[in-house]
Chains A and B, each alone.
Chain A
Amino acid sequence: MKRRKTWIALGLLAVLAIGFAAMAQEPVTIEFWHAMSSRHQENLQVLLDKFAEEYPNITVNAVYQGAYGDLQGKIQAAVVAGNLPTIAQVYENWITSITTLLFPIGDYMSSMEQADIIDGLVPSNTFNGVLTTAPFNKSIMVLYYNKTLIPDPPATWDEFLQIAKDTTADLDGDGVIDRYGAGFRPAANPELFLNLLEQAGGSILNDDWTEVTIDNAAGQAAMEYVEELTPYSYVTGEYMSDHFPQNVAMFVDTSAGYYYNNQAAINGGAEMGVARVPKGPVNQKSMIQGTNLAIFNSGNQTLAQQEAAVLLAKFLIRADNTVFWAIRSGYQPVTKSAYQAQEWLDYVAANPYQVAMSEQMLDGFSQILQPNYGDMRNVIATGFEEVMLEAATASEALTEIADELEMLLE
């Protein structure tokens, strides 16, 4: 009798398994909203074609939605209209207020797959303790410098300041500085300050986001350092490649900008070097930037579509694919195993500037997931710019920033 029951149970399980297998093979179409244009779009399409070969039952309808700002606007509108896609590229702060509409990708990934994601990327993809989104096109901030002018890049804050001083020059003797040692885009890129804050051991908020900590001793050290750099810094809102190497000797910028920065160096008759960012009083971390993949759960997606989207996300971060994407796009691989892949090692060997980028990527940090981060970033950008333009002292700007952040926290 017992044996018979066991056989019946096994039979039922077999029927279920066959049923699931059949379901898995059922055709499913998913919509993937992205902001990848130009070469990035072509390379993404190569990966999607490869995905289609591996999963012939899944059709990915990739929809280019313009630049990041356009994509963000469309996602916001789609939240209200209720027509979110199955999967989309998102920045962390686009989704902090709609976490209930996200499908937790981590529940469908093994612990090994999750552990493979670079440590610095895990916090920014984890909501309520669950890996909810998957990292996709990620870049890291590194130091670019005029190698013709600076044979050895600065390794510490002090060295960076000294070299900035030494390379700031009035080249034609008209009393106006033509070349600055450093270049900053404070309004467009407040991450440059957040790097310094992190390197000084500081943070915008405490761990549970109940208190503003940006104006503590570490924050003061970071902002005072900015103040010290100001006389030797070229401040602009434009791409640094528009001013390198003629107006700027070194600057921190995203690794994804290598191609354009290098073109600028070639045009200016200089050789460009890439190094890790200078080490601060506490560490040598820099910020990881770029988007993640979010799968939506807003009622207009079926479970089959969401599971297919999980397969796509896992496919895109698989070592061979994240390496392919990194080599073709200039972004960085997002998993640890990818950095050990032979193809990547060969690529790094052939492109030595990638050594610094890879090392920096494995020692990066991400933005916080506080829902008001976008506004906080703007506040920090304003204060940072005021100091760089000598419109405020470090302590004035920090007090102002802290006050405004307090308000945003309330």
Chain B
Amino acid sequence: MSVPISWYLMLAAALFAIGTVGALTRRNGIGIFLSIELMLNAANLTLVAFARQMDQRTGQLIVFFVMAIAAAEAAVGLALFIAVFRQRHTIDVNRMNLMRW
């Protein structure tokens, strides 16, 4: 008995929604980053599920690229947080309003 693809898609949608809520409500910069990683993973799950449905490998390859880009994004973003923390001694995004207006 095989699991229908739509179940995977619904799980991915739920994970993406949870990640979105986290990215919008968390105030800690690293918490926002974690939520973004969650959203990326939900998108990856969708891609793999569709690759399975279509019986193609392209989706899996896109997931490969997404993972590499997520790694680059995490490295640069965390380096930026270190730089901000060095100057302001906080990574609370509510107190980082230098470029707000």
A and B interact physically = no
A interface, CB within 8 angstroms of B: none
